[in-house]
């Protein structure tokens, strides 16, 4: 029995080492390919340059950075309230038979390929924005124009895509709160709504924030769906109805025909994306610690 346990421990250890090694090799490869162009072109010029024109030797990634953040921020703005509300409904309000049906639907939502989401946005959301939302906006701004390919379309699709991640992890976090917390709250005369908002959600905040971080990583790293519906225009947007290009979409679209220098610039864009994700994860972890300290 001890030999069997030792073997399992070695297998688990080897799996952990292999996972870390894969991450290290991917990171090493991206930095190896992308650093030369950053040194040659200039790191800050690459980051803050506003013109992306590889044919003319201009590699300003700032419009794609803004586009990625805008679409991701819009997705989180839409998806976080919906996801947490749905998690609360499944964990605390819905009857068990109904909760099982909703749970299966959420799991099905997670299994839909991203390109299907992109085609849905292309055939439904983009025409909807062009024919219904644009006229309303033009009543207030006569110069407003859009083809429907926009930050708004990308944000809506990404919000739907990150819902399963936020819902599942948040629901598990809410269900893991000890039942004694609820009993104590009810004993003090709190209503069910007050118990949810003032006891359960604060107690489950670490899991909820973790779900948001994972959803954010999914949103900022999404490629196909965003590539189909944001317009892929490398310019700084001025409204949510403007077309934008994202880092992931630009890499996927241009890598097939890129020249060696252009290819290295795309790898440099991958470095920027990697750094953005690391920075956002660090900020989220600091927020979790700060909220934990405030709670204590």
Structural domains of the chain, with CATH: 60-249 (1.10.3720.10)
Tokens of 1: 């029995």
* Measured distance CA(60)–CA(62) in Å, rounded: 6
* Measured distance CA(186)–CA(57) in Å, rounded: 66
- Give this prediction's pTM: 0.86
Amino acid 182: pLDDT: 86
* Measured distance CA(130)–CA(143) in Å, rounded: 14
Amino acid 1: pLDDT: 67
Secondary structure E strands in 26-68: 52-53, 58-59
Backbone angles phi, psi at 49, to 5 degrees: -65, 140
- What is the pLDDT tens value at each position of the chain, 296 positions in all? 677 788 888 899 999 999 999 989 988 988 888 888 888 888 888 898 888 888 888 888 899 999 999 999 999 999 999 999 999 999 888 888 888 888 888 888 888 888 899 899 989 898 888 887 777 776 666 555 567 888 999 999 999 999 999 999 999 999 888 888 888 888 888 888 888 888 888 888 888 888 888 888 888 888 888 888 988 888 888 888 888 999 998 998 888 888 888 889 999 999 998 888 888 778 777 776 776 544 44
* Measured distance CA(62)–CA(64) in Å, rounded: 5
Q: Which residue has the tokens 């920075």?
A: 279
Amino acid 294: pLDDT: 46
Amino acid 213: pLDDT: 86
Tokens of 134: 């644009």
Residues 6+ apart with CB under 8 A from 198: 185, 190
């Amino acid at each position: 029995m001890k030999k069997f346990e030792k073997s399992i421990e070695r297998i688990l250890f080897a799996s952990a080492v292999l996972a870390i090694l894969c991450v290290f090799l991917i990171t090493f490869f991206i930095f190896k390919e992308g650093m030369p162009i950053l040194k040659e072109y200039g790191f800050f010029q690459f980051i803050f340059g506003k013109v992306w024109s590889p044919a003319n030797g201009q590699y300003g990634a700032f419009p794609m950075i803004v586009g990625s953040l805008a679409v991701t921020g819009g997705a989180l703005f839409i998806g976080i309230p919906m996801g947490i509300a749905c998690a609360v409904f499944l964990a605390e309000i819905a009857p068990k038979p109904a909760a099982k049906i909703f749970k299966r639907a959420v799991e099905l939502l997670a299994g839909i390929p991203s390109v299907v989401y992109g085609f849905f946005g292309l055939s439904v959301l983009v025409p909807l924005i062009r024919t219904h939302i644009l006229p309303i906006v033009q009543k207030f701004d006569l110069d407003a124009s859009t083809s429907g390919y926009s930050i708004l379309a990308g944000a809506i699709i990404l919000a739907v895509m990150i819902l399963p991640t936020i819902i599942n992890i948040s629901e598990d976090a809410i269900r893991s709160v000890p039942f004694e917390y609820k009993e104590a709250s009810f004993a003090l005369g709190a209503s069910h709504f007050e118990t949810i908002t003032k006891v359960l959600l604060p107690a489950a905040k670490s899991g909820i924030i973790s779900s948001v971080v994972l959803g954010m990583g999914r949103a900022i790293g999404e490629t196909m769906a965003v590539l189909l519906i944001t317009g892929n225009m490398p310019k700084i947007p001025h409204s949510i109805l403007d077309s934008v290009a994202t880092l992931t979409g630009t890499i996927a679209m241009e890598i097939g025909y890129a020249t060696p220098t252009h290819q290295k610039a795309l790898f440099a864009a991958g470095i920027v994306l990697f750094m953005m994700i690391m920075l956002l994860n660090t900020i989220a972890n600091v927020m979790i610690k700060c909220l934990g300290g405030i709670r204590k």
